[in-house]
């Protein structure tokens, strides 16, 4: 992330398993890593927005959790979905960063009509499902009576589009190394999700001989295919940040049942504060530097 460039943000959600009838905001949620055929887990579900940065002493991008929202299925009159919470956090980041573009990357589940309310300064990039409904851009107004068309003809499925597309080699830097892949881009509408806002659909051919390996949809029409792919590959850093927060800092280990989010928020705040303090010399931090971080933690919790 450069000082004047766009701000890359990764969106993801995580589960903390809980049991008991009186646990606040408890519910059943899908968990792809859960055992069993149904892959559902009962507990608290958090949606996290993390800013992706590149540090001079680290070869991979690092995700710094900036905001977190708890999914509550029992809020009246209607609960906020994970996508709605992600959109709200993104809008808050855009307000806190006036004049900067916010480039959001998320998985395929973060797609829906809620994205039609995105601020103009926010771009959204997600992986496309194989059965995604795509349309040509709306044709020009004919001047005849009646409502003008809001979308063009329905495009074929992604596999058929890949067979008709002309792929070109592009070089991308992802997962710590450079790689050359084949990419093809098309501008169209994802009307069921974003309405009249056009998207750029990029198909990546890495190992497949005839079809494609990955399809991405982004509202950033000015970004090159290599830039979009690098941006999406950096999304994995939020998975690492969540795992580190659970395994190293113990986020979610408190067994509180009351409607208090102090445990999760405090530990995510500690990650952010610690990231601001960098030792002025190589090696281990000095006792004075460690003491400064602890004082900042105590001040934030007060």
pLDDT over threshold 50, residue 302:
no
pLDDT of 73 reads: 81
> What CA–CA distance (Å, rounded) separates 96 from 130?
36
Residue 70, Cβ neighbours under 10 Å: how many? 17
> What CA–CA distance (Å, rounded) separates 117 from 197?
11
Please compute Rg for the chain using Cα positions.
22
26: burial class by Cβ within 10 Å (0-12, 13-18, 19+)? Answer: buried
> What CA–CA distance (Å, rounded) separates 247 from 260?
21
> What CA–CA distance (Å, rounded) separates 215 from 225?
11
> What CA–CA distance (Å, rounded) separates 139 from 122?
26
Please say whether the beta carbons of 11 and 104 come within 8 A.
yes
Comparing 4-18, 193-207, 241-255, the range with the smallest average pLDDT is 241-255
Tell me the CB-side half-sphere exposure of residue 27, using CA atoms within 13 A.
Answer: 13
pLDDT over threshold 80, residue 103:
yes
Is the pTM higher than 0.95? The answer reads no
CA 277 to chain centre: 26
> What CA–CA distance (Å, rounded) separates 29 from 43?
8
Q: What is the pLDDT of residues 60-101, one digit of tens each?
A: 888 988 888 888 887 776 678 899 999 999 999 999 988 899
pLDDT over threshold 50, residue 4:
no
Contacts of residue 270, Cβ cutoff 8 Å, sequence gap at least 6: 249, 297, 300
Give the DSSP H or E segment for 288. Answer: helix 287-301
Please say whether the beta carbons of 8 and 236 come within 8 A.
no
Give the DSSP H or E segment for 180. Answer: strand 177-189
Q: What is the pLDDT of residues 203-261, one digit of tens each?
A: 998 877 778 889 999 999 999 999 999 999 999 999 888 888 888 777 777 666 666 65
**Cα–Cα separations (whole angstroms), residue 66 to 229, 267, 283:** 23, 11, 27
Tell me the CB-side half-sphere exposure of residue 89, using CA atoms within 13 A.
Answer: 27
pLDDT class of 123 with cuts at 50, 70, 90: very high
Q: Domain locations in the chain? A: 126-139+149-233
């Amino acid at each position: 992330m450069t000082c004047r460039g766009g701000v890359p943000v990764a969106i993801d959600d995580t589960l903390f398993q809980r049991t008991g009838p009186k646990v606040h905001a408890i519910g059943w949620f899908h968990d792809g890593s859960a055992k069993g055929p149904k892959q559902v887990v009962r507990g608290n579900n958090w949606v996290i927005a993390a800013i992706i940065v590149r540090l001079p002493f680290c070869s991979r991008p690092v995700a710094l959790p900036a905001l977190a929202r708890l999914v509550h299925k029992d809020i009246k009159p209607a609960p906020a979905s994970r996508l709605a919470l992600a959109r709200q956090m993104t809008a808050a980041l855009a307000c806190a960063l006036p004049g900067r573009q916010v480039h959001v990357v998320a998985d395929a589940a973060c797609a829906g009509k809620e994205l039609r309310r995105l601020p103009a300064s926010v771009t959204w990039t997600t992986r496309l499902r194989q059965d995604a409904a795509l349309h040509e851009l709306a044709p020009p107004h004919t001047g005849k009576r009646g409502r003008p068309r809001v979308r063009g003809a329905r495009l074929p499925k992604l596999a058929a589009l890949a067979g008709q597309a002309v792929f070109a080699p592009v070089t991308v830097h992802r997962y710590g190394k450079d790689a050359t892949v084949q990419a093809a881009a098309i501008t169209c509408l994802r009307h069921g999700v974003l309405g009249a806002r056009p998207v750029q659909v990029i198909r990546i051919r890495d190992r497949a001989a005839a079809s494609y390996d990955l399809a991405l949809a982004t509202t950033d029409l000015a970004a090159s295919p290599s830039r979009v792919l690098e941006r999406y590959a950096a999304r994995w850093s939020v998975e690492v940040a969540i795992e580190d927060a659970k395994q190293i800092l113990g986020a979610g280990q408190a067994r509180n049942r009351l409607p208090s989010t102090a445990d999760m928020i405090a530990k995510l705040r500690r990650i952010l504060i610690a990231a601001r303090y960098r030792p002025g010399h190589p090696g281990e931090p000095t006792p004075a530097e460690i003491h400064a971080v602890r004082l900042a933690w105590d001040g934030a919790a007060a």
